[in-house]
Amino acid sequence: MNQTSSKIQQEAILVVSFGTSYEETCQKTIGAIEDAIRSAFPDKPLYRAWTSKRIIKKLKITKNIHVDTVSEALHRMLNDGITNIIVQPTHVINGIETNLLMEDIQKHGSQFQSINLGTPLLTSMDDCNAVADILSNFAEKNDDDHLYVLMGHGTEHHADKIYQTINDLLIQKGRSDIVIGTVEGKFQISDVVDYASTQNTRNATLLPFMIVAGDHANNDMAGDDDDSWKNILAQNDISSSVILKGLGEYPEIRELFIDHCRNAKEFI
């Protein structure tokens, strides 16, 4: 998003997301986070970049929509006269995508006077506590045999352990009826099923623990294939309902990203 005024401001914000090809959830989540940051920093132009080149390519081919990569966005900002930038990722954890983002920033760092970098959603223990509280407040306690099952992405990166940190905090807060599993991390749906058995679960509510309710949420979690989480739970005599609501739709989550942007630290 470019500054349209004839007087270009020198400081701007680059919001970096993984991206999604699901237009509706994009507006409700990534777009909502960007709007919240824009409102919190009205004097700074806001730019968008995505880190998933696969999704960027898909959007270009299928809908002729162009979204900048991080490098493209940084070039655009330079051309617009931006000299000082804040980069705020909307990633959930400090994993592979954030490492790639930092590599892209380092390649262009010398071209800017300063680059400050905000942190992903779950970086500190304060973040983890805040998110655990948000989940606890959203998820009303139901019958004793009910479980909220959240699908996180997960990763081979060591940052994957933060999902277990949230699970531990939820138990400490008296919310053993909420559990986060992952698609690609250590704690997967088979572990969720084992956990559900310890809770005598007969009913579950499935939700994404991802910024957007995109492909993973619609297919891996709520899809019709036998290996979807919904059907795996059914195969274990657990009926489930689905709420396709990405984390970016929660105002409290958006406020955390604003705080991270406000507290961005000097990177280059």
Cα separation, 222 vs 170, in Å, equals 24
Structure tokens belonging to residue 168? 């531990």
- To the query of whether residue 153 is one of the catalytic residues in this protein, the response is yes
Whose tokens are 């689905």? That residue is: 242
Between strands 11-17 and 265-266, the pairing is unpaired
Decide: 173 and 136 in contact? Cβ < 8 Å: yes
Q: In degrees rounded to 5, what are phi and psi of residue 19? A: 110, 165
Structure tokens belonging to residue 185? 């991390």
Annotated catalytic residue, options 91, 108, 146, 153: 153
Q: Is 88 helix (H, G, I), strand (E, B) or coil?
A: strand
User: What order of strands is seen across the sheet that includes strand 11-17?
Assistant: 46-50, 11-17, 84-89, 114-117, 265-266
Cα separation, 231 vs 14, in Å, equals 39
Alpha-carbon torsion, ordered 173, 174, 177, 181, to 10 deg? 30
Please name the helix (run of DSSP H) or strand (run of DSSP E) that holds residue 79, with its range, or none.
helix 70-79
Q: Catalogue the active-site residues.
A: 153
